[in-house]
Amino acid sequence: MSVGVSLFLVLFVLGVAWVLVVSCRALLAGRRSGRGPVVTWQLLQVVGSFAAIGSGTGLSVPGGWVTLLIAVAVGVLLMTPSVVAATSATGSEN
């Protein structure tokens, strides 16, 4: 049973990585379709960082703060007017 769970987790993580790679390529190509999955991933990182900070053990607290700062920075940068314009249909025509 442990092998099945492990195999599922490996395939799931590879699937998430694939979605993030495709989303980043879409953002670099100026398509808005990549913003949703990347923002969703950043929100999941924020939740995970709160859990790490709340655990209060060892290196998980500073790691949680670093993760939180990176996730918030990426999330804010994805919502800046220049990125929104670059990845929207109206921004690519200008």
Say what the pLDDT of residue 92 is: 45
Predicted TM-score of the model (pTM): 0.80
The larger pLDDT score, comparing residue 83 to residue 68, is at: 68
User: How many domains does the chain fold into?
Assistant: 1
Q: Rounded to an integer, what distance in angstroms lies between the CA atom of residue 39 and that of residue 79?
A: 9
Identify the burial level of 54 via C-beta atoms within 10 angstroms of its C-beta, where 0-12 means exposed, 13-18 middle and 19 or more buried: exposed
What pLDDT sits at residue 89? 61
Percentage of the residues of the chain whose pLDDT score is greater than 90: 65
| Per-residue pLDDT reduced to its tens digit, 19-31 | 999 999 998 888 8
Which residue range(s) make up the domain with 89?
2-93
